[in-house]
Amino acid sequence: MTPPLHYRLLKLYVKLGLKIFFKKWQATGLENIPKQGTFIFVPNHQNAFLDALLVVCGTSRNTWFIARGDVFKKPWAVRLLTFMRIKPLFRFRDGLEAMRQNDRYMNECIDILKEGECILIFAEGNHNEPWTTRPLQRGFAHMALQYIEKTGNDINLIPVGYHYENHHTFRSRVLVQYGKPISVLEITKSSADQREKLLALADRVSEDMRSLILTVPKDDDYPERKNFLLQNRVHKTDMIDQLQADRELMKRWKKEDKAQAKQPSVFRWLNPLFLYGRLVHLIPHIIIGWVVKNKIKDDQFIGSVKVAVGIFLIPISYVLLTLIFFLITRESVWTLGFFISLPISGLIAYNR
């Protein structure tokens, strides 16, 4: 089922925004994704809806994905989220009345899979502290087993792992790794009991997922471990090498190790292009900073909100600044040069 043109155009636009937001967006294992046919993406979940966008915009498949049901309360939200190919599933915390709707939405997901589409579902249930894994919920396994029961066909699970250099920062880097497909029938063929099948699928996907990501123990020392990583990281050009270097660094961490904060060089303020870029981006910078500070209660939404606000606010500011420049100068060539200078200076001013 091919999505409408306006969806495909929006996907291309958001993909461009992601390529600007990230200094490097590296993907591996793309050959593991079928160009057509049914399967389920099962990623880890660290960075709100930015995690979903990286898969949706980073592959040729027009993926449906699952979001928590409480965001589907308003009729306009239902229309918007359905247009974006998002389906709800409710959690115990949403109440029994909401949970009763899950059978209907699960059946809708099965129908989507029957049509040869793919679905993304975050098996950890919700996003959480960066660089930490949690036990997997079994919604993805229930969905896969119901699909097999209703169609008699096998279905593959594709684990996905993210490694963010920094979860919140503009012009940082990200690695998205797509694991090898996992045959549900192959994993469950020796299990007769439904619960055993669910556990076997959760264990296998969890194992494969951990091989794709950095896992920092979520204990009382997590803040110190995290700061030690950020302050002592050895930069690698390739993000796979970066992931391995970060793993090795975490193995060497000791409780007595103290991270020393690194301060940005003051000499950047002597660069005229840096100053110019900061000046012409001052208003969107202030607005995005205000939104993050005053409207975001969960830190894991910071990166996602920066992308969502920035991909619309920045172009609007460029248009307004260019119009003002033309009205002042009445010079078409100079105005074109000014317009071209805006994104270039922005990348120089905010590059890491």
Q: Are 274 and 268 in contact (CB under 8 A)?
A: yes
What band does 292 get if pLDDT is binned at 50, 70 and 90?
very high
Q: What's the whole-number mean pLDDT along residues 249-255?
A: 89
pLDDT band at 297 (very low <50, low <70, confident <90, very high): confident
Please state, in angstroms and as integers, the Cα–Cα distance from residue 230 to each residue in 123, 138, 211, 220, 242, following that order.
Answer: 27, 33, 21, 18, 12
Q: What are the CA-CA distances from residue 342 to residues 273, 310, 339 (Å)?
A: 10, 14, 6
- Say how far residue 293 (Cα) sits from the centre of its chain: 21
Q: Dihedral sign for Cα 165, 168, 171, 176, please.
A: positive
pLDDT of residue 263 exceeding 70, the answer is no
Classify burial at 144, counting beta carbons within 10 Å of its beta carbon; exposed 0-12, middle 13-18, buried 19 or more.
Answer: buried
CA torsion 278→282→287→293, rounded to 10°?
50
- What pLDDT shows up at residue 68? 77
Domains of the chain listed by start with CATH number: 5-210 (3.40.1130.10), 218-262 (no CATH), 266-350 (no CATH)
Residue 262, both tokens: 């690194």
Q: Give Cβ neighbours of residue 352 (< 8 Å, ≥ 6 apart).
A: 23, 169, 170, 171, 172
| Mean pLDDT (whole number) for 64-87 | 83
Provide the 10 A C-beta neighbour count for residue 264. Answer: 8
Residue 79 exposed, middle or buried by CB count within 10 Å (0-12, 13-18, 19+): exposed
Over range 61-87, report the average pLDDT.
84
pLDDT value at residue 12: 95
**H-type alpha helices, 70-192:** 75-83, 96-99, 102-114, 139-151, 184-188
Q: Which residue has the higher pLDDT, 77 or 320?
A: 320
Determine contact, residues 269/286, Cβ cutoff 8 Å. no
- Tell me if 99 sits within 8 A of 90, measured CB to CB: yes
Binning pLDDT at 50, 70 and 90, where does residue 259 land?
Answer: low
pLDDT at 178 over 80: yes
pLDDT value at position 82? 85
* 27-54 residue pLDDT tens: 999 999 999 999 999 999 999 889 999 9
